[in-house]
Amino acid sequence: MKFAKNILCIGAGYVGGPTMAVIAAKCPGCKVTVVDVNEERIRRWNSDDLPIFEPGLLDVVRSARGRNLFFSNDVVAGIKAADIIFVSVNTPTKTFGHGAGMASDLQYWEKTAHEIVAHADRSKIIVEKSTLPVRTAEAMECILQENKKGIHFEVISNPEFLSEGSAVMNLLEPDRVLIGSRQTESGRKAAQEIAAIFAHWVAADKIITSNLWSAELSKLVANAFLAQRISSINAVSALCEKTDADVAEISFAVGSDTRIGPRFLNASVGFGGSCFKKDILNLVYICRSYDLNEVADYWQAVIKINEYQQERFVRKIIKEMFNTIVGKKIVLLGFAFKANTGDTRESPGIFVAGKLLEERAQLVISDPQALENARKDLAGLDGSVEYEPDPYRAAVDAQAIAVITEWDIYRKLDFAKIFASMRKPAFLFDGRNILDHQKLFKIGFNVFPLGKPSLTHFK
């Protein structure tokens, strides 16, 4: 079959896979190929055991795979055939050298730029899908212009705003699609070509165009604003615990102001995920590199509060359990960084588990999707860790339960049954405020919510 456009995506991860699956499903006239150096990932994308868990994704993949959606390890062939190349490789925080712990590690991204130059034999549009430091497109252009083949590459920034766990819905009904380009004739033309892809299913007023640097920076700023709201409410949760105010009531009262809005105001054990911390660190690093130290300090505080919140949660567990948890069985309910994903990158569960093990607790980790990743995350740590998907079995003989992930199934558990199987006194630390605390208290638990008065049976 002859396709109107050949679209390639380099990087078949949490962003590349779902994004391209939706584009393929919505644009049957385009051939969409997703390539990756990771053979196992591609093998799984070509099976029904997808490499990532994302509600609704398998149906979308199945609707297009083999028709106009293809997954392959052949990066070179993909580059040669493509009219448009999305680059969706990982851009983690640098762990070495200058900028370690702050700057983005751009090695994977730069490698793709060199691969494109080496193998492309006609002009193409290159789309930055990965989250990148502002002005990265300039570096991309420099590398691409080095080609001696007389071909032109137009670089576009099209940052991705999907959230894990709701990726398919976010892609099908995005709040906006942002397309940044050079403000030149060829830049605008390329932006229109990318906009035309999304116009197959996204309303025109939701497709925003801007200059390249605004698009790159908007992505970092959006994540920083979202994370800032969580750190703000988490900071308030600490004050609530000292004053008997209730953080959920405050979230509701404050979020009812239409200027503020209700979302992203749930106090938690801390935000996780592969991007919030990484992108804020990157923003901080960029600000410092421009000598904007006050601005850098401002954003850095968002991360500081997040670390404080995780530490506070652990300290509370230890303190309330009579300042020793040596040999005590503690169940972590959930390990994913949020519900509806198996992803554990930067999950607060990793920090909490590590600290509880240092205190020599016996841990049982329970999660419906994330145990495979949890095993890898905790592999190097000393101490006793069991992995048990069934929360009821996990709780037998436990002294405490700590809710780490807001999985819906935990709201519906039979806590009377769980309580009956636990050692007494039984403790429950709700790091997500998702449970009915009064009911738990009545069952017999000593309950420690976040940012709310604790409910204990001790005199």
User: Would you tell me which residues interact with ligand NAD (CB under 6 A)?
Assistant: 10-16, 35-38, 41, 75, 88-91, 108, 111-112, 130-131, 160, 162, 164, 274-275
The DSSP code for 383 is: S
Q: Please, which residue, 13 or 451, has the CB nearer to ligand NAD?
A: 13
Quote the CA–CA distance of 278 and 223 in Å, as a whole number.
10
Q: How far is the CB of 261 from ligand UGA (least distance, A)?
A: 11
Quote the CA–CA distance of 79 and 114 in Å, as a whole number.
11
- 366-to-132, 236, 317, 370, 406 alpha-carbon distances in Å: 34, 29, 18, 8, 12
Q: How far is the CB of 35 from ligand NAD (least distance, A)?
A: 6
Q: Please, which residue, 33 or 237, has the CB nearer to ligand NAD?
A: 33
Quote the CA–CA distance of 65 and 291 in Å, as a whole number.
49
- What are the structure tokens assigned to 326, written together? 């040596």
Catalytic (active site) residue 275: yes
Does the footprint of ligand UGA cover residue 226 (CB under 6 A)? yes
Say which of 27, 30, 240, 275 is annotated catalytic.
Answer: 275
Per-residue interface string for the shown chain with ligand UGA, residues 174-213, x marking contact by CB under 6 A: ----------------------------------------
- Which partner, ligand UGA, ligand NAD, none, binds residue 90 by CB below 5 to 8 Å per kind? ligand NAD
> DSSP H helical segments within 27-100, as ranges?
39-45, 57-64, 75-81
Quote the CA–CA distance of 64 and 160 in Å, as a whole number.
21
Does the footprint of ligand UGA cover residue 223 (CB under 6 A)? yes
* Contact present, 127 and 158 (Cβ < 8 Å): yes
* Contact present, 453 and 244 (Cβ < 8 Å): yes
Query: Exposure of 326 by Cβ count < 10 A (0-12 exposed, 13-18 middle, 19+ buried)?
Result: exposed
Q: Please, which residue, 161 or 419, has the CB nearer to ligand UGA?
A: 161
Task: Pick out residues in 241-300 that bind ligand UGA (CB under 6 A).
Answer: 264-266, 268, 271-276
Q: Please, which residue, 42 or 230, has the CB nearer to ligand UGA?
A: 230
CB atoms within 10 A of CB 123: 13
- 56-to-21, 199, 251 alpha-carbon distances in Å: 11, 22, 30
Q: How far is the CB of 41 from ligand NAD (least distance, A)?
A: 5
- Which partner, ligand NAD, ligand UGA, none, binds residue 268 by CB below 5 to 8 Å per kind? ligand UGA
- Which partner, ligand UGA, ligand NAD, none, binds residue 10 by CB below 5 to 8 Å per kind? ligand NAD
Q: How far is the CB of 274 from ligand UGA (least distance, A)?
A: 6
Q: How far is the CB of 259 from ligand UGA (least distance, A)?
A: 18
b (16+ CB within 10 A) / e for 51-85: bbbbeebbebbeebbeebbbbbeebeebbeebbbb
CB atoms within 10 A of CB 29: 11
The phi, psi pair for 181, rounded to 5°, reads -145, 165
- Which partner, ligand NAD, ligand UGA, none, binds residue 13 by CB below 5 to 8 Å per kind? ligand NAD
- Which partner, ligand NAD, ligand UGA, none, binds residue 111 by CB below 5 to 8 Å per kind? ligand NAD
Quote the CA–CA distance of 131 and 305 in Å, as a whole number.
23
Does the footprint of ligand UGA cover residue 404 (CB under 6 A)? no
HSE, CB side, 13 Å, CA atoms: give it for residue 236: 17
Does the footprint of ligand UGA cover residue 162 (CB under 6 A)? yes
Q: Please, which residue, 18 or 273, has the CB nearer to ligand UGA?
A: 273
Does the footprint of ligand UGA cover residue 161 (CB under 6 A)? yes
- Which partner, ligand UGA, ligand NAD, none, binds residue 112 by CB below 5 to 8 Å per kind? ligand NAD
* Contact present, 309 and 270 (Cβ < 8 Å): yes
- Which partner, ligand UGA, ligand NAD, none, binds residue 367 by CB below 5 to 8 Å per kind? none
Site for ligand UGA (CB under 6 A): which residue of 230, 247, 330, 440?
A: 230
Q: Please, which residue, 19 or 366, has the CB nearer to ligand NAD?
A: 19
DSSP of 124-172? EEEEE-S---TTHHHHHHHHHHT-SS---EEEEE------TTSHHHHHH
Task: Pick out residues in 127-146 that bind ligand UGA (CB under 6 A).
Answer: 131
b (16+ CB within 10 A) / e for 96-110: eeebeebbbbbebbe
CB atoms within 10 A of CB 145: 12
Does the footprint of ligand UGA cover residue 338 (CB under 6 A)? yes
Does the footprint of ligand UGA cover residue 160 (CB under 6 A)? yes
The phi, psi pair for 173, rounded to 5°, reads -130, 70
Q: Please, which residue, 299 or 337, has the CB nearer to ligand UGA?
A: 337
- Which partner, ligand NAD, ligand UGA, none, binds residue 12 by CB below 5 to 8 Å per kind? ligand NAD
Does the footprint of ligand UGA cover residue 53 (CB under 6 A)? no
Catalytic residues: 275
Instruction: List interacting residues with ligand UGA (CB under 6 A).
Output: 131, 160-164, 223, 226, 230, 264-266, 268, 271-276, 337-338
